[in-house]
Structure 1
């Protein structure tokens, strides 16, 4: 049986605070994992959901919903962006975005055209297929833009003078300033089209549930470690008797 020295109140309070803090973080990560699982199921069914009209959706799209919509308008001529450092099926490449002007709406809609691999042994940037001109109807999933992550090197768009422009992250405010226009807060992931060169295999742009479960395990481990450290620091050493008489 483990025997403990009488701990100080500071040690007790510090350990209790640490255990409660780590457990709360672990439980929070479990809740986040459950929320992400719900979002994954909604995203998985979005592409086959009934088509909604853009005008009825764009004002009321909630962060946890992924409307499947149709919108008519035209692409802004000569303007497109390539999101670098992307990968599909083990092939490096770019994700291509283009601004779209919906009919009867003042703001621009950023459209994700899909993925294109880099070309050749030296992995050159791909030549973009011509973007359709004139009036078109687009169909796709209306989603939040990809999280920008670390914005290294500042706003590269302002320094580039040729199109398409290359970027390492999508920042809606920077793109809006670059286009001298106002953008809708979400982007449109176009439905798959076998006639197009673009790869359109969409995944939601958020941390997967497995990552949250991993973080939860980490925080619960810290709670166990705090208890173990408390026990080790206050464990009584075994008494040794003197055999000499």
Structure 2
């Protein structure tokens, strides 16, 4: 390295430590991207999987799996919940959830009926009536939608009539509102061409999709490279300046 000065030990140590940290963060982001893509593939494959007995997976569902189950119960038809922030094609509308009571079980199963599109006027669409007798349902047993910060706290507690509307669906708040415990996951019903609801379910990685993880990984790898480049630039030997007497 004739063109470079020997760096001090602390500068070399700081550069190596920083570069290794940035590389490790980049690798972690790549692993997160691969993990989420694998989850999305498993989710898509679950739509055509054989039906399982709900009782076998109800309390302890697989952490990285989405069982397709069949379950029977009765809707609490007067206790509907509307999620007012689903991302569809701009028409407006709501995602509709209904609690299902299973015979002999204290827990309620929250059922995602699907997306009910609006007519573009910003008003809540008219909800079709639910069957009052026992129903047999099938769909994917999936985690609830992600929860974020809601201004003003629990919006459900402030509403006195159903259906109740919120921009997030917090299972803990729904359970308190209903006065009954909920199963740890919810049932996303299978698509039905005859249903008024649109049922195109997917995992919500909108805030951090796999592509964004890869973009962050590239950013961290760039930082690692920049740390090495800065060390080399700072310790590059400079040609001595000629004095004016030498120039004359």
Does TM-score exceed 0.5, indicating one fold?
Answer: yes
Summarize the Cα distance change of 1:168–1:2 in structure 2 as closer, same or farther, 3 Å threshold: farther
Change (3 A) 1:163 1:46: same
Rounded Cα–Cα distance in structure 2 between residues aligned with 1:20 and 1:152: 40
Secondary structure at the aligned position of 2:184 is classed as strand
Does the 8 Å contact 1:74/1:135 carry over to 2?
yes
CA contact (8 A) 2:85 2:168 kept: no
Residue 195 (structure 2) aligns with: 196
2:131 matched residue in structure 1: 132
Structure 2 match to 1:25: 25
Per-residue Cα deviation, 1:13-36 (whole angstroms, up to 9, x for no partner):
222221111111111111122222
Distance 1:150 1:238, change over 3 A: farther
Distance 1:15 1:139, change over 3 A: same
**Quick one: distance in 1 between partners of 2:79 and 2:106?**
17
The separation in 2 between residues aligned to 1:49 and 1:130, in whole angstroms, is: 30
Match of 2:157 in 1: 158
- Deviations along 1:81-136, whole A, 9 cap, x unmatched? 1111222234332211111112332201111111122334x321212111221100
CA distance in 1, matches of 2:106, 2:2: 73
Calculate the aligned-residue CA RMSD, in Å: 1.9
Instruction: Determine if contact 2:140/2:189 at 8 Å carries over to the other structure.
Output: yes
| Matching of residues 159-178 of structure 1 within 5 Å | 159-178=158-177
Give the drift of 1:2: 8.3
Q: Is the 8 A contact 1:87 1:93 kept in 2?
A: no
SS in 2 for 1:72: strand
Instruction: Give CA deviations for 1:177-226 in whole Å, capped at 9, x if unaligned.
Output: 11111011111110111221111011112343222212211211221222
Runs of 4+ in 1 over 6 A off after TM superposition: none
2:200 partner SS: coil
SS of 1:95's equivalent?
Answer: strand
Match of 1:42 in 2: 42
**SS class of match (1:185):** coil
Q: Which residue of 2 aligns with 1:211?
A: 212
Output the CA distance in 1 between the equivalents of 2:151 and 2:222: 33
Tell me the CA shift for residue 230 of structure 1. 2.5
Gaps of at least 5 residues in structure 1 are none
Aligned partners of 2:106 and 2:180 also within 8 Å: no
Structure 2, unaligned stretches of length 5 or more? none
CA distance in 1: counterparts of 2:85 and 2:181, whole angstroms: 26
Structure with greater proportional strand content: 1
Query: What are the within-5 Å matches in structure 2 for residues 60-75 of structure 1?
Result: 60-75=60-75
CA distance in 2, matches of 1:238, 1:178: 76
